[in-house]
């Protein structure tokens, strides 16, 4: 977590300088090389004290919009949110504790969804809760076969 320094100066320039220092041409390539890392983890790797997770996400959205790959970004964010709370995959038993944690992960995912995809994401969320995937399902990236059936690449 940063202490506010992440917003000082030209943070976008700083963000992309760090991405290049790590050997990547784009923030998307950097993030996709770490598909289960949270936004905070990505930010900390780029600059523990002066890059924030929301800045990473802002950059990812901008790149996804330019490349017309917002749906892929939305799937990527689902992978990140699920991995954060359920590193061993979808829970086998959805008891009160898991239900709360699952709701929290899905709510975070929804909150990081661009407005153009909100309706689709809510349908996917509802479908996952109504007919859960097999226990242990753990998408490792945005191209997970089951995740693609839920949220195919038709841009909204």
- For residues 70-91, give the mean pLDDT: 97
Q: Label residue 72 exposed, middle or buried (CB < 10 Å: 0-12, 13-18, 19+).
A: buried
- Which pTM value belongs to this model? 0.91
pLDDT band, residue 10 (cuts 50/70/90) = confident
Q: Tell me the pLDDT band of 1, cut-offs 50, 70 and 90.
A: very low
d(CA 2, CA 22) in angstroms, rounded, equals: 20
- Residue 156 tokens read as 């909204």
At 41-55, the pLDDT tens digits run 999 999 988 999 999
Q: For residues 68-81, give the mean pLDDT.
A: 97
* CA distances, 131 to each of 1, 76, 122, 123, 154 (Å): 36, 21, 14, 12, 22
Higher pLDDT, 6 or 143: 143
What token pair was written down for 43? 């930010």
């Amino acid at each position: 977590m940063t202490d506010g320094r992440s917003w000082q100066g030209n943070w976008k320039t700083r963000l992309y300088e760090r991405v290049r220092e790590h050997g990547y041409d784009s923030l998307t390539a950097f993030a996709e090389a770490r598909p289960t890392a949270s936004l905070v983890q990505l930010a900390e790797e780029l600059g523990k004290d002066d890059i924030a997770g929301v800045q990473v996400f802002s950059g990812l959205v901008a790149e996804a919009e330019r490349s017309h790959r917002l749906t892929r970004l939305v799937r990527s964010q689902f992978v990140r949110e699920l991995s954060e709370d359920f590193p061993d995959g979808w829970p086998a038993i959805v008891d009160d504790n898991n239900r709360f944690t699952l709701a929290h992960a899905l709510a975070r995912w929804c909150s990081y969804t661009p407005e153009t995809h909100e309706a689709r994401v809510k349908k996917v969320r509802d479908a996952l809760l109504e007919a859960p995937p097999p226990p242990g399902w753990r998408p490792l990236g945005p191209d997970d076969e089951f995740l693609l059936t839920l949220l195919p690449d038709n841009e909204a």
